[in-house]
Homo-oligomer: A and B are copies of this chain.
Amino acid sequence: MNSCPVNFTLEKRCKRSLARAGIIHTPHGPITTPAFVVVGTKGTVKSVKVDDMEKYVGNQVALANTYHLFLQPGSDLIEEAGGLGKFMNWVGPTMTDSGGFQVFSLGAAFGKGVTKFAKDATADADGSSLNVYSKELASQHGKLCVIDEDGVTFTSHLDGSMHRFTPERSIEVQHQIGADIIVAFDECTSPTVDRDYQKEAMDRTHRWAKRSIMAHKNNYSALKNQGLYGVVQGGRHLDLRKESACTLAKMDFDGFAIGGSFSKSDLGESLEVVNQILPEEKPRHLLGIGEPEDILAGVLNGCDTFDCVAPTRLGRTGTLYVNTGSVNNFGLPVYEKINILNQKFIHDHSNFDFSESPIGTQYTKAYLAHLFRAKEMLGPHLASLHNLWTIVNYTKAIRTKILNDE
């Protein structure tokens, strides 16, 4: 057994920012970074078969959600299948998250419209009295997610059954699922909670991080070959982010994930603070963020990998990233989002991408407009492939710029 199944090779460091290019070596092959990780929540990138990933998306790695797979079809079934990759027929590297974010978003925050980004600068003040984890509040919308020092008790969004995740249980479940990169159990806080709660949750996440490492090492089967990432938290408070990075940097993780909430405006600053502290020789993943401008901010501030459901979620509702033909200060393409259901596309017989998207250069806006209006499955499929290709290849273009000193 390799004592360190996930390693990072730093290929190039940018002189004017924290941006860097590298290679994450995993048991299922290398990931050249910066890289976008496609999300396959339930062990499937929605509508996309593995051959399509290879031909139309070009991703190197896929991430599945521990919470979802635990509930359906069950992590034991995936272990029985030979692990996540074999189950979904994907030969490349895989990741799972810890389940912390889903326990939060599908538990207490369900239906609240809470995202990882604070709505505006005053959200903190407006929402300061809101502790989304309180049992009282949770019960108001029929969901239950109670956090204690030992772990989280939550109800399934599928059938209301009660479950419990502890750091040890999350690691056990992730061992069963068997992805190359797994993540320590953390508490993902809402951007609306106050500083005291952010601090309390962060400290707990640090204690859980230690327990996750212990659980990983103690129960680590010789047959497994998985790297463990720790999760930096701290919400929108730079001092907490700094403290979290310092604490985790000292722990024996194979890499780091950066979780929790940000505001759009200070995303870069938060990441800069964190990545100046995290050890340079280990990979850094920014959890759940994937708009082009956010990926660029992430790379400029030292992040290596990114994941987000946006490309497929937007695609399913007919929203497409479209290359405007303009480039930004870094010479990277500027994208706009169009909704193909807009009246003006009904008679637009031009392709929906003029550049290189293998789907967008084949199909017209009028055809896609028809598919979405007729509620044909092919519409979401083509839109998802195009959006995934766009974000994956945008991130690859950033990598090329770094390697070429641009």
Using CB atoms and an 8 Å cutoff, list the residues of chain A in contact with chain B: 42-51, 55, 72-73, 77, 80-82, 87-89, 346-347, 349, 359, 362-364, 366-367, 369-371, 373-374, 376-378, 380-382
Contact of A381 among B49, B346, B363, B366 (CB under 8 A): B49
Q: Secondary structure of the A side of the interface?
A: loop
- A55 CB contacts on chain B under 8 angstroms: 51
Interchain CB contact under 8 A, B377 and A377? yes
Are A44 and B371 within 8 A (Cβ)? yes
CA distance A46 to B382 in the complex (A): 12
> CA of A51 to CA of B55 in the docked complex: distance in angstroms?
11
- The answer to whether B72 and A367 have CB atoms under 8 Å apart is no
Enumerate 25 A-B pairs (CB-CB under 8 Å) in ascending A order: A42-B370, A42-B374, A43-B367, A44-B371, A44-B378, A46-B377, A46-B378, A47-B377, A47-B381, A49-B381, A50-B362, A72-B370, A72-B373, A72-B374, A73-B346, A77-B347, A77-B366, A77-B370, A80-B349, A81-B366, A81-B367, A87-B367, A88-B367, A89-B362, A377-B381
Whether the pair B48, A378 counts as a contact (CB closer than 8 A) is yes
Shortest distance from the beta carbon of A106 to any chain B beta carbon, whole Å = 14
Q: A81-B366, A89-B363, A362-B89 are in contact. Are A373 and B73 (CB under 8 A)?
A: yes
Using A43-B370, A87-B367, A367-B89 as known contacts, say yes or no to A347 and B80 having CB atoms under 8 A apart.
yes
Chain B, Cβ-Cβ closest to A358: B51
**CA A45 – CA B376 in complex, angstroms?**
9
Q: A80: which B residues are within 8 A, CB to CB? A: 347, 349
Q: Which residue of B lies closest to A349 (CB)?
A: B81
Chain B residue at minimal CB-CB distance from A76: B347
Extra contacts, 19 of them, besides A87-B370, A89-B363 (Cβ < 8 A), are A42-B374, A43-B367, A43-B370, A44-B374, A44-B378, A46-B376, A47-B378, A47-B381, A49-B359, A49-B382, A73-B370, A73-B374, A77-B346, A81-B349, A81-B364, A82-B349, A87-B367, A89-B364, A377-B381
Q: How far is the CA of A324 from the CA of B347 in the complex (A)?
A: 48
How far does the alpha carbon of A367 sit from the alpha carbon of B50 in the complex, in Å? 13
Chain B residues within 8 Å of A373, by CB: 72-73
Please, which residues of chain B bring their CB within 8 A of the CB of A367?
A: 43, 81, 87-89
In whole angstroms, what is the CA distance A50 to B381 when docked?
12
A368 to chain B, nearest CB (A): 10
**What distance in Å separates the Cβ of A53 from its nearest Cβ neighbour in chain B?**
11
Query: Closest approach, in angstroms, between the C-beta of A381 and any C-beta of chain B?
Result: 6
- Which among A82, A89, A377 has the highest number of chain B CB atoms within 10 Å? A377
Shortest A299–chain B CB gap in Å is: 30
Bound-state Cα–Cα, A163 to B48, Å: 39
Q: How far is the CA of A82 from the CA of B367 in the complex (A)?
A: 12
A366-B84 Cα distance, complex, nearest whole Å: 12
Q: Give bound CA distance, A82 to B347, whole Å.
A: 12
Residues of B with C-beta under 8 A to A89: 362-364, 367
Partner of A376, one of B44, B77, B346, B369: B44
Closest to A374 in B: B42
For A47, what are the chain B residues with a Cβ–Cβ distance below 8 Å?
A: 47, 377-378, 381
